[in-house]
Amino acid sequence: MNPLESLVPRPAHAQVRPGSFVLDQHTSLGLQPRSGLDGVARWLRSELALDLPAVPVADAGIVLGLDRGLSNEAFTVDVSDRRVIVRGGDPAGVFYGLQALRQLLPASAYRRAGAAGAWTIGGCHIEDAPRFGWRGLLLDVARHFLPVHDVLRVIDLAAMHRLNVLHLHLTDDQGWRLEIERYPLLTQVGGWRRESQLGAGPTAQGDGRPHGGWYSRDDVAEIVAYAAQRFVAVVPEIDLPGHVQAAVAAYPTLGAGLDGVTPDVWTRWGISDHVLSLAEPAIRMVEDILDDVVGQFPGAVVALGGDESPKRRWHRDEAADARKAELGITRDADLQNWLLRRLATRLADQGRRTLLWDEVLEGDDVPGAIVASWRGDRGVALGTRRGYDVISCPADSVYLDYRQSDSDDEPVPVGIALGVEDVYEFDPQPPTLPPGGGTVLGAQCQIWTEHVDSARRLDYLLFPRLAAFAEAVWTSGPRDVHEFTQRLGVHGERLRALGVEGRDPSGPRPWQSRPGVPGNPMTRTAMADHLSTIVAGMRTE
Amino acid sequence: MNPLESLVPRPAHAQVRPGSFVLDQHTSLGLQPRSGLDGVARWLRSELALDLPAVPVADAGIVLGLDRGLSNEAFTVDVSDRRVIVRGGDPAGVFYGLQALRQLLPASAYRRAGAAGAWTIGGCHIEDAPRFGWRGLLLDVARHFLPVHDVLRVIDLAAMHRLNVLHLHLTDDQGWRLEIERYPLLTQVGGWRRESQLGAGPTAQGDGRPHGGWYSRDDVAEIVAYAAQRFVAVVPEIDLPGHVQAAVAAYPTLGAGLDGVTPDVWTRWGISDHVLSLAEPAIRMVEDILDDVVGQFPGAVVALGGDESPKRRWHRDEAADARKAELGITRDADLQNWLLRRLATRLADQGRRTLLWDEVLEGDDVPGAIVASWRGDRGVALGTRRGYDVISCPADSVYLDYRQSDSDDEPVPVGIALGVEDVYEFDPQPPTLPPGGGTVLGAQCQIWTEHVDSARRLDYLLFPRLAAFAEAVWTSGPRDVHEFTQRLGVHGERLRALGVEGRDPSGPRPWQSRPGVPGNPMTRTAMADHLSTIVAGMRTE
């Protein structure tokens, strides 16, 4: 196979040129002066385990530079006998150019040691640019904690696929994973649970095994810096007003309608009925927490969730009643959006935009918010029409925790069958979009981790589907799934060289299956019915 | 605390000197010409995430060089206002000097990103050298497979503690983890099992969860190269003639006394009664396998086990009877040693020494073998007296899978309580050693992984006890356990910066416990009785 044909994501333009370049321990590196590419150069040296000594551009074997004629994140790669030139519209573009260049090396070049370190690259010219600016991966570290070193590995894998957002789902009913200085019990109490539900559906049992862990402030600083070096922005999510049982277990003040009963950190999957109190002390505490989050995460966006928030406990809560009366609000969705608006305003005062799930469309406006539409194109269309910027992340296309085939062998099968081809067919941009003030910023795939109790299981669910998602959100123009699956052969070698234990096209290896652990598979029809029922609550005005 | 007092292992000599050196992104690096230190320099750049551009020694901020007056692995570190000079007796010595230097930086310097990259190091002079040349860690990847990226992380942690041998226990009754070209079923069949025993003792049940995985040839090459860059030699262990049930499941030809029944890969812990056949085709097959092992592992030593090998099936096996008759051997132990001698000779012909557990002392001689004495000082003394070079690895001191305290909270408590202080008190050299031809090469701690089903659990068992072991095998002269445990405070910060989830002095965190999973704790008296019973079989002549 022509190596240019094995690139993932596929470039907009790639052409074979005469000649070939030998990359080895004598290769030198030249950076265009004042280009701010030192970090990229350091990354390259470390990844290839080569010294690549710095020399003036005129003498360099590999030249990195900026080309102001290119857009942000766009790049060109030129390989000739004499040299390799990688230019980007910005440092991120150069980084992505180097990711493309690396794919022209043998798969062994992805190993951390033992590769030859002497590779011949055929002459070529490549031009590429991303279709969307938001290319995200949501990693749920609340349902199952992932140690820092595994998170860094996920960042490497995301960056290799030219994703640029890591959305960290840090809090949920089943765990609170972020150290907050003023409220240590959030982690000390909320950071672990007595056991976990094993499997899905009505027959699932508890496993009797405690689970926990959280990220210290230093851990967060490391994750954020490591991601930034790879041009990945970290978006922290503090999910509220639903999905807060772990926080309420730590600080009952935060809970609505408790009737004096403090819950434990939840040990079941699903949607707990705990919801944030709307009393002023609870909201002030959340504001404190968000101030701390803003201090820890320098990125432009903070996610506040707003999804799947049951209102039963508000209905038996005096503070909620008082708040409704005070505000003259009658609908729960508007009450929720009042809270989100208040918090989003505070975040905006600190220079942050708020990301919310598409439940925000069920209530009145939260100006300036970004909407993550998980329930399909209707949320994308409605959101942009109502003036929101939108990220497309539909459950029925890019929820990578969903089963990968119809086979009973899939481990703990949940959701619909979502093969690598299905993910590849995903298009973040609905074919027709009504006019409106909002823009589709891009897309995001999600890996919810109820049934992901280890990095090995994470690998199985992420790969190769993450590669399909990456291409769907990066590549412009028509895509051919057959051509893609052919390229996956070579790409699979790269992933194996990285130690990724992905899914084989033939299905799970015996030890990747989970016989006897119940799943909760859905048909596509049932999923479509389910999503259309729950989107019915969205307000069109 | 004077930073020199927080070094782990504690150096033979460390002295504060005037001045201080600022290590930052402007620091340059000079290598003594022709010193072969390029790899060490590359490692340093990568670990500190600094460019450290190469300059002539006279101009360099950090100078690395060799000092032929120092022994192998020994080093000196000199920090002054003007520069840092690290000299070693060989490149490994320089590497260990840099490990000591790194301990003079804040713990945050151990993070992979986000550290300041500008550190002030107080003036000092440090001299150090290891007490023993074999400072090993046995990692059992047979009972539970550990993905490559986790193995590389273990290598980093071992090298940081100046260990220089990674003994990979690659095969056992419960799994075969090494790809062998001629015998693919060893991994395809032997590389996974249907389930695992959950816990220890008579009440332990199966967990119903398949487990598996193995290392490809490329994986092995990567592990070996990565370790070599950190001066860690990898010793592969192919355990035989016992502990072979997984191999027999793949190729029944390998099994003795099967009576036509091919076993499954074992799903229980303990010692299976399967044992290698002594028929010529089986031994030839093993020789083929070992040829492949030698090809994959370039190190000087190959381990063949020879431990805990039940002979029941030999007693109902025609080939074993024939072999005894042919050789005029009556004792099982001598029959086993005949096999080991034959294989060790073949390995010797390929330039390798054979490592054997101390059961080899129950039979006649296997010339040239190294004995790993797991049953205490008696094996060390007897082994050296009989002319073997010996590695001390007693179960009652350095089996790091044993429980870390008497508390019922310890997860799946097995063996004796072996706290960090107990490991620290370990001395590889028995106080009096009878004269003999053999030498104590050093020591090795072991982590058997029956109850280690994840890298998180591995962290819990290894740390901080690995630091105690490292100091016991590195440091000459008297050691003070109280002083060590004080130093562990600072060292714990380093480990946390590395993302290591070790054991807190107060005990397991709630989620590190395994309530309800049975263990099999022993008292020290019972352990001593057990070990003395089983060493009674050792031959003194």
> Is residue A43 domain-shared with residue A160, that is, in the same domain?
no
Task: Work out how many CB contacts closer than 8 A connect A with B.
Answer: 118
Q: Which residues contact B396 (CB under 8 A, 6 or more apart)?
A: B376, B416, B418, B524, B527, B528, B531
Confidence grade of residue A433 (pLDDT, cut at 50, 70, 90): confident
Q: Which residue has the higher pLDDT, A377 or B240?
A: B240
By three-state DSSP, how is residue A132 classified? coil
CB distance B70 to B44 below 8 Å: no
Residue B539 has a pLDDT of 77
Judge if A170 and A220 occupy the same domain: yes
- CA atoms within 13 A of residue A425's CA, in its CB half-sphere: 8
The CA angle A242-A244-A247, to the nearest 5 degrees, is 160
Residues A148 and A65 grouped into a single domain: no
CB A87 within 8 A of CB A66: yes
Buried (b) or exposed (e) across A285-324, using 16+ Cβ within 10 A?
A: bbeebbbbbbebbebebbbbbbbebbbebbeebebbeebb
B213/B323 same-domain check:
yes
Does B114 contact A225 at a Cβ distance shorter than 8 Å? yes
Residue with tokens 């294989």: B343
pLDDT at res. B2:
85
pLDDT digits (tens, 9 = 90+) for A293-309: 999 999 999 999 999 99
Closest approach of B403 to chain A, Cα-based (Å)? 18
Nearest CA to A229 among B36, B114, B437?
Answer: B114
CB B321 within 8 A of CB B315: no
Q: Rounded to a whole number, what is the distance in Å from the CA of A134 to chain B's nearest CA?
A: 23
Residue A539 has pLDDT above 80, yes or no: no
- Cα–Cα distance for residue pair A400/A305, rounded to 1 Å: 19
Tell if the CB–CB gap between B210 and A147 is shorter than 8 Å. Answer: no
* Domain limit, last residue, from B128, B158, B189: B128
**Residue A383: predicted pLDDT:** 95
For A41, name the nearest residue in chain B, comparing CA atoms only. B51
Which letter does DSSP use for residue B330 in this model? -
Task: Quote the pLDDT of residue A88.
Answer: 98
Domain match, B328 and B431 both: yes
Count the neighbouring beta carbons within 10 Å of the beta carbon of residue A197.
20
> Under DSSP, is residue A172 helix (H, G, I), strand (E, B) or coil?
strand
Pair B93, B31: CB distance under 8 Å = no
- Ranking A22-26, A436-440, B370-374 by mean pLDDT, the lowest is A436-440
Which of A224, A497, A498 shows the shortest C-beta gap to B114? A224
Backbone angles phi, psi at A169, to 5 degrees: -85, 95
Query: Which of A339, A367, A370, A373 has the alpha carbon at shortest distance from A354?
Result: A370
Tell me, what's the pLDDT at A541?
Answer: 58
Task: Tell me how many domains chain B contains.
Answer: 2
Residue in chain B lying closest to A510 (CA): B210
- Interface contact flag, B501 A147, Cβ < 8 Å: yes
The torsion defined by the Cα of B193, B198, B200 and B205, in degrees rounded to 10, comes to -90
Query: In chain A, which residues have their Cβ closer than 8 Å to the Cβ of B509?
Result: 192, 212
Determine, yes or no, domain membership for B504.
no
Q: Which of A152, A212, A510 sits opposite B210 (nearest CB)?
A: A510
Inform me whether the pLDDT recorded for A115 exceeds 90. no
Least Cα separation, residue A266 to chain B (angstroms): 14
Instruction: Tell me if B151 is assigned to some domain.
Output: yes
**Among candidates B209, B210, B510 on the partner chain, residue whose Cβ is nearest the Cβ of A210:** B510
Tell me the β-bridge partners of A165: A136, A233
Residues A260-280 have a mean pLDDT of: 97
Residues B409-425 have pLDDT tens digits of 999 999 999 999 999 99
Give contacts of A497 with chain B, Cβ < 8 Å. 218
Do B107 and B180 lie in a common domain? no
Shortest Cα distance, chain B CAs vs residue A67, angstroms: 25
Within 10 angstroms of residue A398's Cβ, the number of other Cβ atoms is 29
Give the residues across from B447 on adjacent strands. Answer: B139
How far is it, in rounded angstroms, from Cα A246 to Cα A286? 14
| Banded pLDDT at A435 (limits 50, 70, 90) | confident
Q: Given an 8 Å threshold on Cβ–Cβ distance, is A225 in contact with B113? A: yes
Q: Is residue B505 part of a domain?
A: no
pLDDT of residue B323: 97
Examine residue A241 and say whether the peptide bond preceding it is cis (omega within 30 degrees of 0): yes
Same domain, A472 and A458: yes
Nearest to B42 among A49, A228, A497 (CB): A49
- B229 to chain A: closest CA residue: A113
CA distances from A292 to A185, A225, A289, A327, A346 (A): 15, 17, 5, 28, 12
Residue A431: predicted pLDDT? 82
CATH number of the domain encompassing residue A62: 3.30.379.10
Looking at the structure, tell me whether residues A83 and A152 fall in a common domain: no
- Which of B73, B95, B128 is the endpoint of a domain? B128
Both A120 and A170 in one domain: the answer is: no
Is there a contact between B456 and A224 if contact means CB atoms under 8 Å apart? no
Asked, for residue B79, whether it belongs to a domain, the answer is: yes
Inter-chain residue contact A147 with B515, CB threshold 8 Å: no
Asked if B104 and B186 sit in the same domain, the reply is no
Q: Apex CA B143: angle with CA B142 and CA B145, to 5°? A: 60
Residues of B in contact with A209 (CB under 8 A): 514
Range of the domain at A48: 3-128
* pLDDT score at A153: 98
Q: Is the alpha carbon torsion for B5, B114, A447, A312 positive or negative?
A: positive
Residues on chain A touching B221 (C-beta within 8 angstroms): 114
Point out the residue among A114, A153, A515 whose CB comes nearest to the CB of B222: A114
Give dist(CA A109, CA A26) in Å, integer. Answer: 16
- CATH classification at residue B217: 3.20.20.80
In chain B, what residues touch A516 (CB-CB under 8 Å)? 208
* pLDDT of the residue at A173: 98
Question: So what's the pLDDT on residue A114?
Answer: 84
- Residue A366 half-sphere exposure toward CB, CA atoms < 13 A: 35
User: Does position A535 have pLDDT exceeding 80, yes or no?
Assistant: no
Query: Does A455 sit within 8 Å of B511, measured CB to CB?
Result: no
Give the Cβ contact number of residue B532 at 10 Å: 12
Q: Where are the beta strands (DSSP E) in B29-164?
A: 29-31, 62-66, 75-79, 84-88, 119-128, 134-140
* One domain, residues B194 and B260: yes
DSSP for A481-508, written as a single string: HHHHHHHHHHHHHHHHHTT----BTTB-
Tell me, yes or no, whether B501 lies in a domain.
Answer: no
**Residues paired with residue B399 on neighbouring β-strands, in sequence order:** B446
**Per-position pLDDT tens, chain B of length 541:** 688 999 999 999 999 999 999 999 999 999 999 999 999 999 999 999 999 999 999 999 999 999 999 999 999 999 999 999 999 999 999 999 999 999 999 999 999 998 878 999 999 999 999 999 999 999 999 999 999 999 999 999 999 999 999 999 999 999 999 999 999 999 999 999 999 999 999 999 999 999 999 999 999 999 999 999 999 999 999 999 999 999 999 999 999 999 999 999 999 999 999 999 999 999 999 999 999 999 999 999 999 999 999 999 999 999 999 999 999 999 999 999 999 999 999 999 999 999 999 999 999 999 999 999 999 888 999 999 999 999 999 999 999 999 999 999 999 999 999 999 999 999 999 888 878 789 999 999 999 999 999 999 999 999 999 999 999 999 998 999 999 999 999 999 999 999 999 999 999 999 999 999 999 999 999 999 988 887 777 776 5
Q: Please tell me which of the candidates B111, B148, B210 has its beta carbon nearest to residue A499.
A: B148
How far away is chain A from the Cα of B266, in angstroms, using its nearest Cα?
14
- Asked if residue B213 is part of any domain, the answer here is yes
3-state helix, strand, coil in chain A (%, to 5): 35, 20, 45
Query: Which chain A residues have a beta carbon less than 8 Å from that of B51?
Result: 38, 42, 54
| pLDDT at B310 (0 to 100) | 94
Half-sphere exposure (Cβ direction) of B172: Cα atoms closer than 13 Å: 25
How would you class B53 by CB atoms within 10 Å of its CB: exposed for 0-12, middle for 13-18, buried for 19 or more?
Answer: middle
Q: From CA A17, how far away is CA A496, in angstroms rounded?
A: 29
Domain final residue, candidates B437, B457, B475: B475
pLDDT band at A430 (very low <50, low <70, confident <90, very high): confident
Closest-CA distance of chain B to residue A336, Å: 34
Residue type, B170: L
Average pLDDT, chain A: 96
Q: Which residues of chain A neighbour B152 with C-beta distances below 8 Å?
A: 112-113
- Note the pLDDT of residue B537: 78
Subunit contact A501:B147, Cβ cutoff 8 A: yes
Taking CB atoms and an 8 Å cutoff, what residues of chain A touch B109? none
B182, B240: one domain: yes
Handedness of CA A489, A492, A496, A497 (dihedral sign): positive
Instruction: Give a yes or no: residue A540 inside a domain.
Output: no
Which of B111, B150, B195, B454 best tests the A interface by mutation, with the highest count of A CBs <10 A? B111
Domain assignment of residue B525, yes or no: no
Q: Please judge whether A114 and B149 are an interchain contact, meaning their C-beta atoms are less than 8 angstroms apart.
A: no
Residue with tokens 């000199």: B78
Q: Are A279 and A202 in contact (CB under 8 A)?
A: no
Q: Give CA angle at A431 (A430, A434), nearest 5°.
A: 75
Interface touch B45/A49, C-beta < 8 Å: no
ipTM of the complex: 0.97
Q: What is the pTM of this model?
A: 0.98
